[in-house]
């Protein structure tokens, strides 16, 4: 399983983390070694084999008097049992749902807590796109969903992130708009920054970083994109980069847990191929990663999908890493992933794209776009209640 291979490590303070056993072994160790405080904020926390194991570990941490704060998205974790929420509360664990799907005032789908972040003892940080569920761990018969995270050891960043998680958990209206402290090492050659996107709070650092980095690219852009449905500005930026002789490679979903979203992405293939953008479909498992490497020097990994829901509807968190060493090592891994993908070409599209398929892709594209607009903008009254 190449996507779950040996962890790529550039420095002692920062490591790439793969979905599968790598991620969950680290999460288990983080919980076991926590001494004072744990923050967990995630979109999905399933009550399955992986989820139950983490719950047992968190109970044990609570017995050691570790303060624990868990925030789960009300839509993504809708199936999390109410009885377990109550049980965890009895252990002294602070746990609640962000923007429950049903409330006394409304039925709400729009703004969601989509980031996946763990902070332990204000010094150990885990940020990425991996939720707490069996499908991200894999089983004896199925590979884990392809995804990534980054583990960082840094007290300055840890303190800042713990404060942010606390502010969100306790529904503080005036959450600090200060940037999370960056990590700088090796005489400034490695800089790791936390990037946030929350349109309602006027934070769009992740989107800006994508536009800026793609716009300034000179050699190569490699993007891993689940639920890939970028807006016009991003498509135009990719097109301009390609016309400036920048090699652009997109690793996209060959199979998806949301088939209509995949078909919507396929609607863009012809246009992207016309711009000489290389397309690769991962079909060994569901692709859930949201990452990019640009000019072998800048990498971003996190929860931010290249679509309007992440840009305007959800609370997202990525890391931006300025490090040639980290980028080159990650690119070596992505080259292995692309070698296992099916490359999409104009010739292969002609063989698979009949009239019905094109029509289905077109319908899926506009249906998905419409749904995104509705669930992002329609419940405007709820916007007054930021959390």
pLDDT tens string 18-77: 999 999 999 999 999 999 999 999 999 999 999 999 999 999 999 999 999 999 999 999
d(CA 279, CA 358): 17
String of b and e for 305-334 (b: at least 16 CB within 10 Å)? Answer: bbbbbbbbbbbbbbbbbbbebbbebbbebb
Position 199 confidence tier, pLDDT thresholds 50, 70, 90: confident
Residues across the chain: 387
- pLDDT band with cut points at 50, 70 and 90 for residue 193: very high
The pLDDT value given to residue 241? 98
Residue-wise pLDDT for 331-374, tens only, equals 999 999 999 999 999 998 877 778 888 889 999 989 998 888 77
Of 55, 56, 83, nearest to 70 by C-alpha is 55
- State yes or no: pLDDT of 103 exceeds 60: no
pLDDT at 6 over 60: no
What are the structural domains, with CATH classification, of the chain? 2-183 (3.30.870.10), 188-376 (3.30.870.10)
Average pLDDT over residues 103-110: 53
State the pLDDT at residue 377: 66
The structure's pTM equals 0.91
Strand order in the sheet with 67-73: 14-18, 148-153, 124-128, 116-120, 37-42, 67-73, 94-98
Mean pLDDT over residues 316-337, rounded?
96
Tens of pLDDT, residues 273-318: 999 999 999 999 999 999 999 999 999 999 999 998 898 889 999 9
What pLDDT, on the 0 to 100 scale, is given for residue 186? 56
pLDDT band at residue 259 using 50, 70 and 90 as cut-offs: very high
Confidence class for position 176, pLDDT limits 50, 70, 90: low
Residue 156: predicted pLDDT: 92
């Amino acid at each position: 399983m190449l996507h779950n291979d040996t962890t790529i490590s550039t420095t002692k303070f920062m490591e790439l983390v793969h979905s599968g056993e790598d991620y969950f072994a680290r999460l288990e160790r983080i919980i076991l070694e926590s001494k004072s405080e744990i923050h967990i904020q995630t979109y999905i926390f399933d009550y399955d084999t992986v989820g139950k194991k983490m719950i047992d570990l968190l109970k044990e941490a609570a017995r050691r008097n570790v303060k624990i704060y868990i925030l789960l998205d009300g839509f993504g974790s809708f199936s999390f049992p109410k009885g377990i929420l109550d049980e965890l509360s009895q252990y002294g664990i602070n746990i609640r749902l962000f923007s429950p799907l049903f409330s006394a005032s409304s039925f709400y789908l729009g703004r969601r807590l989509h980031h996946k972040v763990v902070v332990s003892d204000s010094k150990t940080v885990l940020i990425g796109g991996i939720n707490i569920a069996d499908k991200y761990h894999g089983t004896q018969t199925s590979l884990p969903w392809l995804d990534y995270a980054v583990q960082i050891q840094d007290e300055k960043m840890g303190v800042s992130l713990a404060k942010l998680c606390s502010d969100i958990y306790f529904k503080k209206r005036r959450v600090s708009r200060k940037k999370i402290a960056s990590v700088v090492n090796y005489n400034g050659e490695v800089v790791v920054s936390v990037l946030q996107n929350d349109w309602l709070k006027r934070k769009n650092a992740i989107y800006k970083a994508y536009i800026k980095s793609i716009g300034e690219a000179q050699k190569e852009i490699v993007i891993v994109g689940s639920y890939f449905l970028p807006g016009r500005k991003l498509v135009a930026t990719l097109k301009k980069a390609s016309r400036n002789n920048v090699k652009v490679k997109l690793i996209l979903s060959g199979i998806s847990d949301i088939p209509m979203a995949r078909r919507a992405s396929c609607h863009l293939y012809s246009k992207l191929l016309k711009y000489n953008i290389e397309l690769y479909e991962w079909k060994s498992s569901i692709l859930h990663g949201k990452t990019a490497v640009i000019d072998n020097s800048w990498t971003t990994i996190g929860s931010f999908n290249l679509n309007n829901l992440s840009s305007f509807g959800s609370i997202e968190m990525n890391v931006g890493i300025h490090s040639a060493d980290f980028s080159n090592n990650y690119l070596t891994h992505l080259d292995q992933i692309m070698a296992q993908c099916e490359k999409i070409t104009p010739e292969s599209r002609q063989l698979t794209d009949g009239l019905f398929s094109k029509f289905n892709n077109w319908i899926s594209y506009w249906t998905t776009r419409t749904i995104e607009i509705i669930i992002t903008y329609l419940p405007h009254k709820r916007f007054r209640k930021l959390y």
